[in-house]
Chains A and B, each alone.
Chain A
């Protein structure tokens, strides 16, 4: 059974993440963790506020040691790496990874270490290669690797890199990811 959905996005991600979360059927109650690249000086709560306008589930900026709860959406705060431990989050201010903090690789790798095959990793639009190694780590530990179809992505570098790095379980247009997650998460629960 899946325990955690991790989403990584960069350029164009604000719209894409909003769309994905707005589409996500409410029955899918796995916690969703989002690492979206932002400028380090951007308003600390800006992204969460914007997402709240479109998403019905609770959206929170992560604080250190915050427990992970079902049905919630968690946002990596700007200028911190977000790491997953079993049951809670941890933050770090270690150096940028591939110029990024939060780093999608750091989030995905720690999530896959903590939750193994319980992780669904999703790489969306972006103009750099962050997330490719992280998605490969998710896949290596038996989790599910999903990638937004590069053709429809606002920037395709990131989905292209993810597809090159690992054998994705599905490459999907943005508007189909929500439905796909529904099938994945609820099908498993029935069986």
Chain B
């Protein structure tokens, strides 16, 4: 009996995998968004979460709805592109940026920074605050890109949940913040509206890491906890894109549990801060 039950479960999993493959193919052909090389385990979770939210019980049923209802596609796109993040997430990373990246930026008359996969913008505002406090914001332009236009709208608006401010303030202090964090926002209703001046030098733009090309040359590229959703082959291609987009001695910043190791470009970088995943392009 038990053997029979788990054979049925295995069969369901096989069907599930076929359905997921078909859905991704359909989404690509219908809307041009290519998720076929996303890491399967987390992708499957996210797609199932959408299926449950839509009240359907198979991935095929979700596919049916996706193909015929662009609004449903928009909802799935949100599920797949919102990376839950926090202002000054991993405060030690920001300390390292202050101590090791900012001194490099001071040597340039002008710097271009690309925050790739900026999602709702928490990291962009954090970075802007840091650059402002270090006195290099005036000479910098931040390009904040994401695959999803409506996520970018939220990033542009710069309103974050008020109930997060305690956590963010703690992070900010640990990240070496020099002022009172509350100077940067106004509390209204249940949102914290961040100062518009923080995004004066920020360009928000749609860009798809999977299919779009390099669009400038940068001194710093920040892409944290975005590529964890990609499979190995896609990660390698995005590493090529970043390598091609970085100026010599430019800095690549990855998430705390991501590494340049094992990527085809490992030898082209040296550690600027291995713990904080800051790498400098050297060849």
Contacts and interface: CB of A to CB of B under 8 A. Distances in A.
Interface of A: 41, 44, 61-65, 77, 80-81, 83-85, 90-95, 106, 109-110, 113-114, 116-117, 140-142
Contacts, number: 76
Given A63-B259, A64-B227, A77-B256, A142 B2 contact: yes
B6 interface: yes
Given A63-B257, A141-B10, A113 B41 contact: yes
A188 to B, nearest CB: 15
Contacts of A64: 227-228, 255, 257-259
Contacts of B9: 116, 140-142
B5 A142 contact: yes
A108 to B, nearest CB: 12
A94 B40 contact: no
A93 B84 contact: yes
- Secondary structure call for the B interface: helix
B6 A85 contact: no
Interface residues of B, number: 31
B225 interface: yes
Given A77-B256, A85-B40, A90-B42, 12 more contacts: A63-B258, A64-B257, A80-B257, A85-B39, A91-B225, A92-B228, A94-B42, A116-B10, A117-B6, A142-B2, A142-B7, A142-B9
Contacts of B259: 63-64
Closest 9 CB pairs of A and B: A142-B6, A83-B41, A92-B42, A110-B41, A90-B39, A141-B9, A91-B228, A64-B228, A63-B257
